Amino acid sequence: MRRFVVVASATLALAPLPAFAQDPARMDAVVREDAENGDFMGAVLVARDGDILFDKGYGSANLEWNIPNDGATKFRLGSVTKQFTAVAILLLQERGKLTLDAPVKTYLPDAPGIWDKVTVRHLLTHSSGIPNFTNFPDYGTTKTLPATHASLIARFRDKPLEFAPGAKFAYSNSGYVLLSAIVEKLSGQSYAAFVAENLFKPLGMADTGYDVHAAILPRRASGYSPGPKGPVNADYIDMSIPQGAGALYSTTRDLLKWQRGLYGGTLLKPATLAAFRTPYKDGYALGVGVQSAGGVTTIEHGGGIEGFNTSLAYDPDRKITVVVLGNLNGPGPGKLSKSLMTLARGGTVTLTSERKAATVAPDQLDQYEGVYELAPTFAITMRVKDGKLMTQATGQQELELFAESKDRFFLKVVDAQVEFTRDASGKVTGLILHQGGRSMPAPRK
């Protein structure tokens, strides 16, 4: 379900390329607001190339023992893992072991016939059409059971494709499970051993690896989920399930080593690195998302797994790394990643607590009433109640909007803003929801 959630909305004012903001106090204030509101717990790091600008932990790695988070705390990465899997595949390609545009059946001969046109590239770019097994109705019960590659693949191998391979983008963890199997088949090693030997060891990433529940792992964070009265211990997931789609753990400091080594050319040849970061469909490249707008490029991927949400972002022009690792489920890491990147680039971030409400006459609010459609099954309804403009998203509670300027309003309980749009005659015809660094238009029905 889509929600008005606490996510970033930054006012971006970039300085010229050579100039950078290096205000750790402001970065701390941005993170601390979410931490104090109970929306974030974890560790963050911001660096420009090898210079660390900000490195701090918030809340507890273990609430029962009140052990604080810091840059050496190990967090499960969730889908940030996917870029490691993609680089492993690219290394195998450089070694002549595979070709990205070869059918999956070339390397997994027992693949079903419906996958005949599915290539390795399709798996990497979420364009295979293979259904995402983590969306299956029984996933909540099967995620606790140990699995092998064969038993896990059996869960989705006989399902029909959702679309023709290469036709569109649809996020699928199933594809990255298959990529894990290909890594093992072609290397003769377990996935965990291959990435440890070929990725982590060359970069000195001693605090990164494949997480195993039974292993004694020093400084591993416990994972939590929000509860009615505060955090609760997160659901259990057997770590044989996520595999190369989300099973790795790391620290903020180790992930800086990863960024510097990967984008510095230590692991991949220049042409391969260029392919790694080239979008295929919907801004998704090989295990990472790539967004370019206004001369600014961000390479980023988020992650979510029981008890953990994460974000790893990189500005290749300014060599800025932002790492946000959280051990409390929620949108906080994604929000903070965007805000911290904005600050590191020299921009400004306005916190929800800093927004000032303007006075608008109640009779001026009537023009905004109506239903605004963000998607076929998701709309935002505006109505005036007791002289206040109220908003309600599909399936959610009603919230008050506060005027900031003409046609611009904000919510206080959620970091999101609404900008109303007009036609040539001045009639309100739609709105733009600014949330999470995105601007989402919604026409008035």
d(CA 254, CA 206): 8
d(CA 87, CA 85): 5
Q: Is 78 left (phi over 0), alpha (psi -120 to 50) or beta?
A: left
Contact 290, 301 (CB under 8 A): no
Number of residues written out for the chain? 445
Rounded to 5°, angle at Cα 296 from 291 and 297: 40
Tokens of 136: 């299956």
Q: Which residues of 247-270 are buried (b: 16+ CB within 10 A; e: fewer)?
A: bbbbbbbbbbbbbbbbbeeebbee
Catalytic-labelled residue, pool 60, 79, 127, 250: 79
Annotation says 240 is catalytic: no
Helices (H) and strands (E) in the chain, counts: 12, 21
Contact 36, 8 (CB under 8 A): no
d(CA 426, CA 35): 42
Catalytic annotation, residues? 79
